[in-house]
Amino acid sequence: MDTSPEGMSEIGSVAVVGAGTMGWQIAALTAASGRAVALHDALPGAAERAVERMRVELPALASGPDNLPLPPPTDVEAVVRRVRVAPTLADAVAGADLVIEAVREELATKRAVFAELDRLTPRAILATNSSSLPSAALADAVSGPERLLNLHFFSPVWLRPMLEVMSCGQTSPAVLAAGERFGRSLGLVTAVVRGQSKGFIINRVWRAVKREALRVVDEGHADPEDVDRLWMLFFGTPSGPFGLMDMVGLDVVADIEASYQAVSLDPTDRPSATLGRLVNAGKLGEKTGEGFYHYPNPAFRRPGWLRGEE
Ligand SMILES: NC(=O)c1ccc[n+]([C@@H]2O[C@H](COP(=O)([O-])OP(=O)(O)OC[C@H]3O[C@@H](n4cnc5c(N)ncnc54)[C@H](O)[C@@H]3O)[C@@H](O)[C@H]2O)c1
């Protein structure tokens, strides 16, 4: 794709790299906008499982309460038909106007993916869905940083229909504008981050909440349920910080924490013992059936729990 303002056409086909929690949702949302999507994961079978997840989870969303801020697609088979499982990265990006990377939150892994993408697709817009890494950290892994940017989606996408768009510092204005238009075309509310901000806008605020919630528990002042209960009553939300961390995935949370700690100037900003214990035990939250809570029926969703009536 020509990244000059004159040459920038609309984004047609999209490749999604990484078919985990975010990859399947980004692929489904993009396919629901009528675009062809290629989905690739390095783990054999993962992209196929992501497509199966679309078949199971999209109808469940569509038949759920109809107050979702972004209505999920009703013609699930039409969505699935537009998603092609790509066995290799080269196959995934062939002909793509936009590549969205959604692999694990680890700089070295992402840099390796972007170096490959740079080699395989000389023209596509290259976006990272990282929750905490600025695309500037990937800029020297590619030969044309003017086509690189952050496109930060949120999970679950139909409940949180928003997109943060951030430059790598060298992104061309046309690419930034195309990223924003792409987000809007998916039905998302977009916010362009001005300048460079680690954690963009809302994740920076959310990171401060996670850090303090984990500290309160690490220091023995409260258990996760106390924190969540008070939070939910105070802010009137359906879950608290620990319930939300379980939903994100505790391994992902630990990686994100580590990425902030790596650049923190605060010597007390250290890995949480509570979080580390759970991750080491393979209790990664909702996706493994146990984290701070047990799933599929976590305590915080049970009647009476909020008022401490159990
Ligand atoms: N989980 C969330 O709520 C959330 C929200 C917004 C952004 N993010 C970001 O999205 C990215 C993905 O997070 P996730 O929660 O989907 O993680 P995940 O662990 O559920 O999925 C990551 C997938 O990437 C695959 N993968 C790893 N290395 C790969 C490679 N080299 N090539 C291709 N595939 C590879 C893995 O096999 C896995 O299926 C992270 O950068 C995370 O920070 C996550």
Residue-wise pLDDT tens for the chain (310 aa)? 555 544 456 899 999 999 999 999 999 999 999 999 999 999 999 999 999 999 999 999 988 777 789 999 999 999 999 999 999 999 999 999 999 999 998 899 999 999 999 999 999 999 999 988 899 999 999 999 999 999 999 999 999 999 999 999 999 999 999 999 999 999 999 999 999 998 899 999 999 999 999 999 999 999 999 999 999 999 999 999 999 999 999 999 998 899 899 889 999 999 999 999 999 999 999 999 999 999 999 999 999 999 988 7
Q: For ligand 1, is residue 18 a contact (CB within 6 Å)?
A: yes
- Name the residue at shortest CA distance from atom 6 of ligand 1: 154
Share of the chain above pLDDT 90, in %: 87
CATH code assigned to 202-301: 1.10.1040.50
What pLDDT does residue 68 have? 84
- Judge if the beta carbon of residue 203 lies within 6 A of ligand 1: no
Closest by CA to 19, choosing from 114, 87, 71, is 87
Pairing state between β 14-17 and 125-128? unpaired
Q: Rounded to a whole number, what is the largest CA-CA distance in the chain?
A: 63
- Ligand 1 centroid to Cα of residue 137, in Å, is 17
Interval 127-137: pLDDT, tens: 999 988 899 99
Asked if residue 41 has its Cβ within 6 Å of ligand 1, the reply is yes
pLDDT number for residue 1: 55
CATH 1.10.390.10 fits 14-192, yes or no: no
Euclidean distance between CA atoms 247 and 97, whole angstroms: 31
Instruction: Evaluate: CB of 103 within 6 angstroms of ligand 1.
Output: yes
What confidence score (pLDDT) does residue 105 get? 86
Which atom of ligand 1 sits closest to the CA of residue 153? Answer: 6
Query: What are the residue ranges spanned by the domains of the chain?
Result: 14-192, 202-301
Nearest Cα residue to 100 out of 18, 176, 31? 18
Q: Is the CB of 130 under 6 A from ligand 1?
A: yes
How many CB atoms are located within 10 Å of the residue 61 CB? 20
pLDDT at 309: 85
Spatial CB neighbours of 58, under 8 Å, sequence gap ≥ 6: 28, 72, 73, 76, 79
pLDDT value of residue 84: 98
**CA atoms of 51 and 56, how far apart (whole Å):** 9
Q: Is the minimum distance from the CB of 17 to ligand 1 under 6 angstroms?
A: yes
Q: Is the pTM of this model over 0.75?
A: yes
